Structure 1
């Protein structure tokens, strides 16, 4: 079947997502409409991609009978409300991360999805990347032995960007880039709750975190050391490594959307799909992988995705809540 998408939000991430959807093979997905905060923004986006229907509101997307699934790419302070609106309108939903500011908000959206019996997935796109799927497979099969250490770092100079700098827009490093480091740890340790969480952050004069260091300690003595900063560029250091008693996996540059990784059995490389409109963010062709995951789930009648299940999101935000508590960062949304 061709999966028919409605898009909410005409920003940069939505542009990258739609371009990835339209990458070859182009007969799997179809964008039937775009909804934005104004008719002008929606029409401009539609013209760029040749989308037939442009709406100046999100309500019209919810009402469109031709939409099978909605992608939510608006600024994240609106993710909870918009996810619930679309689910209650009978739409399946793929919502950009972070879905919410806290575990309580995540659970709220998941509960609505369950009540409405509709598919819902937080768009932690890393998990759908073929390299991540291979990592998960290797770890679960015990090929690395017992996991003893996970290390990841994500440094990018975006502290002046409004959505990162302003608390009223959901600002802060943790909910933006920090989540990518946390999700790697929770995947590797199979959603196990850490026995100890230690977190430290530098807060801006507005109270949002500009960087962070999180150490997670697990019952077997395994640890995850997670570093992230919005104040400087990481160069070639935005990598991750997983150490086990039987072997190591090294995830290459841009570990959250990697093109290569080194396993005990050798190196794995991939090429992400190229869409009709140039991408803004690194390796955004990888967004196609999560769209394909959604399609696979809907064709199989699933209401959750195995790569980013409800339990997966819950494990991430249990840690997020504790980091927020320890650091005292402002979370207004």
Structure 2
């Protein structure tokens, strides 16, 4: 039986998500409805992707009984209200990263999932890439020994994009790019909470962080250094240093397709897209979609690969880093 998807927001990332679904086993995933604030936009999106039902309100999508899970692709500040709205309607949800604007909102979403007994996952797509699964295997088998340090960089000049730079749209390097770096670190360290967090960087004129550098210290003097930026091009790579060797992601840290373990290179190509994509390697969204399907088939409420505890931890660290950098959003002032 197919997993029936409803799509909330007819934007660029939703388009790419649907293109990625087409690369999966035929019959396993079916997109049955899309909703946007503007009915015309929803209808145009539905026509483009051959979706049977188009709605001009999220309320109509929430009332659709033929949906198993809703993919929420709205901009960051709307993740909390939209996620809670669909979960109250007893809909399972996959919410684009970041799960919410701060730790308090993340906890609200987790509580909503628990209260309504529905599935909730943050769409950290790279967690489910073949590269990530191979890294877990290598670490688990001790091929590089005990991890001593992780370094992750991700950055590009993106301040010309409003949702990346404007505070009211949830812009800033940490919320959009830093989450990739942090999720990688916590994947390597199995969700361990750091003993200390030191952050430095600078803000741009809009008041959001343009570049941030985080140093996380873990037990046993293990370290992680994360650098993210929306003002400059960084190496966009990652290195895991162990007592017996190293693991390297040579480039495209946000959508990795290659890996080097102790000098041995491995390639994990993604399937070709049947339609033009808005973002690099977006067919990799297929892996998070399949994770959702498998979780629903097993009756799970959270993903073992991207558990709520990891989403909470990422939000906690970003909150602390923003505090040290002096970055606040309107959502931080709500009691």
Which residues of 2 match residues 168-179 of structure 1 at below 5 A?
A: 168-179=168-179
Given that 1:153 and 1:240 are in contact with CA atoms closer than 8 Å, whether structure 2 keeps it comes out as yes
Given that 2:99 and 2:311 are in contact with CA atoms closer than 8 Å, whether structure 1 keeps it comes out as no
Q: Which runs of 5+ in 1 are unaligned?
A: none
| 2:242 corresponds to | 244
Give the structure-2-normalised TM-score.
Answer: 0.96
Structure 1 position 131, deviation (Å): 0.9
Give distance in 2, aligned partners of 1:266 and 1:59.
Answer: 52
Structure 1 position 266, deviation (Å): 3.1
Structure 1 position 247, deviation (Å): 1.8
Which residues of 2 match residues 93-172 of structure 1 at below 5 A?
A: 93-172=93-172
| 1:268 corresponds to | 266
Which residues of 2 match residues 1-333 of structure 1 at below 5 A?
A: 1-234=1-234, 237-264=235-262, 266-333=264-331
Give distance in 1, aligned partners of 2:103 and 2:188.
Answer: 20
Give the number of equivalent residue pairs. 331
Structure 1 position 265, deviation (Å): 8.1
Give the structure-1-normalised TM-score.
Answer: 0.96
Given that 1:202 and 1:211 are in contact with CA atoms closer than 8 Å, whether structure 2 keeps it comes out as yes
Q: Which runs of 5+ in 2 are unaligned?
A: none
Give distance in 2, aligned partners of 1:114 and 1:254.
Answer: 35
Structure 1 position 15, deviation (Å): 0.6
Give distance in 2, aligned partners of 1:25 and 1:271.
Answer: 17
Query: Aligned-residue CA RMSD in angstroms?
Result: 1.3
Structure 1 position 307, deviation (Å): 1.0
Given that 1:24 and 1:275 are in contact with CA atoms closer than 8 Å, whether structure 2 keeps it comes out as no
